[in-house]
């Protein structure tokens, strides 16, 4: 009996822990990520060129959303979603509407973003939010740093909206 306890108890414990940390499946079949846009007249602090960076943010956002397992497939705006998958698909749209710099010892810049997530087939709003997301001021040194930082905060916000 003691041998069985020493062998089977650790195995059961490992299996139980593995089931707790197992990744759950995607809620959606596909997510179409439209290009991130910037409202006309909005300028980023620092050296980031928003017209170039918006394209980079979109590509990085798709990569980050794949890692977060938001949907089985992350698609661009040109992809065709099959009729069968359209019932379980969403369209993600993000617009950068402004920036506001906050001073202090740890200076931060707030990026205001409008996020709309709609059901692919019915065009019913799944989630919508206009929020200010904190970014380090150093993120605006060049387009690549801005794209990585902006996509990271956008991904987290989208993930929380869909939870």
Q: What is the pLDDT of residues 59-104, one digit of tens each?
A: 999 999 999 999 999 999 888 888 888 889 999 999 999 988 776 6
Confidence grade of residue 33 (pLDDT, cut at 50, 70, 90): very high
Mean pLDDT to the nearest integer, 19-43 = 80
Span 26-162: which CATH code?
3.40.50.10610
pLDDT above 90 (res 127):
yes
Mean pLDDT to the nearest integer, 124-132 = 93
Q: What is the pLDDT of residues 40-55, one digit of tens each?
A: 988 877 777 888 889 9
C-alpha 143/C-alpha 21 separation (Å) is 36
Q: What is the pLDDT of residues 4-25, one digit of tens each?
A: 666 666 676 666 655 555 455 6
Q: What pLDDT, on the 0 to 100 scale, is given for residue 22?
A: 47
C-alpha 61/C-alpha 94 separation (Å) is 10
pLDDT above 60 (res 1):
no
Are 38 and 94 contacting, i.e. CB atoms less than 8 angstroms apart? Answer: no
Confidence grade of residue 157 (pLDDT, cut at 50, 70, 90): very high
Are 136 and 153 contacting, i.e. CB atoms less than 8 angstroms apart? Answer: no
Copy the structure tokens of residue 26: 């995607």
Count the neighbouring beta carbons within 10 Å of the beta carbon of residue 132: 15
Helix, strand, coil: what percent of the chain each, to 5? 40, 30, 30
């Amino acid at each position: 009996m003691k041998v069985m306890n020493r062998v089977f108890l650790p195995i059961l414990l490992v299996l139980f822990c593995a089931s707790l940390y197992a990744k759950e499946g995607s809620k959606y079949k596909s997510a179409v990520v439209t290009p991130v846009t910037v409202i006309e007249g909005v300028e980023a602090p620092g050296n980031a060129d928003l017209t170039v960076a918006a394209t980079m943010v979109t590509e990085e956002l798709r990569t980050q959303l794949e890692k977060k397992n938001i949907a089985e497939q992350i698609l661009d705006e040109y992809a065709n979603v099959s009729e069968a998958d359209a019932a379980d698909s969403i369209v993600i749209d993000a617009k950068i509407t402004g920036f506001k710099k906050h001073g202090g010892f740890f200076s931060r810049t707030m990026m205001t973003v409008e996020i709309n997530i709609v059901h692919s087939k019915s065009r019913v709003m799944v989630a919508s939010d206009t929020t200010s997301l904190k970014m380090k001021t150093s993120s605006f040194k060049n387009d690549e740093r801005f794209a990585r930082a902006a996509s990271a905060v956008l991904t987290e916000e989208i993930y929380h909206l869909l939870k």
